[in-house]
Amino acid sequence: MMRAVLPLPRVSLMVFVLWAVITNAASFGLLVLGAILAIVIPLLSRNFWPTPRPLLRPWRGLRFLGLFALDIITANWRVARQIIGPLHRLAPAFVEVPLDLRDPFIATLLGSIVSLTPGTVSIHVDQQRWVLLVHALDAPDPQALIDEIKERYERALKEIFAC
């Protein structure tokens, strides 16, 4: 019964919260409309979603989100200094990060996280060789960058989603 009405509970929750935020949760009627949308949209778009991975450790996930927010801020200080500072001292480089995870969705998530944090933009996820191609604004030591990405983000994602 539950499965039939809410095939994708996380998507439904997301739709509902987003609706409440956009409309500022102004009235009860709008919330009811949001609930209807949260049921109808997943039912209609069920076939387009990838099979969801079980979220094994939600609290670890929340802590990771906090760490990620702090990283975004420090990343911006670093990039800001590099942009204003002397350009000839920068050492831009393409770096290939070998991945341990084997899930396309989680790999995409990792790519997005890498794009928003310290001096790196992810360019391509190679799903044959499972390599993440990254461009770094300033990477005098590529191996250190690879270790940082794997230690800091990939391991956390693997723990949270259990893959």
Partner 1 sequence: MSTATELIISTLIVLGALFVLLGSVGLARLPDFFMRLHGPTKATTMGVGATLLASAIFFSVQDRGVSLHELAPLFFLFITAPVTAHLLAKAALHRKSSGDTSGQAAQASEHEPGQH
Chain positions contacting partner 1, by CB under 8 A: 18, 20-25, 72-73, 75-76, 79-80, 83-84, 87, 90, 92, 94, 111-113, 115-116, 119, 121-124, 135, 137
Residue type, 100: D
Whichever of 3 and 29 has its CB closer to partner 1, that residue is 29
Six token digits for residue 7? 């095939």
Contact partners, residue 53, CB within 8 Å, separation at least 6: 103, 105, 106, 161, 162, 163
Closest approach of partner 1 to the CB of residue 83, in Å: 4
Whichever of 27 and 45 has its CB closer to partner 1, that residue is 27
Contact partners, residue 163, CB within 8 Å, separation at least 6: 53, 101, 102, 103, 106
Whichever of 127 and 162 has its CB closer to partner 1, that residue is 127
Closest approach of partner 1 to the CB of residue 19, in Å: 10
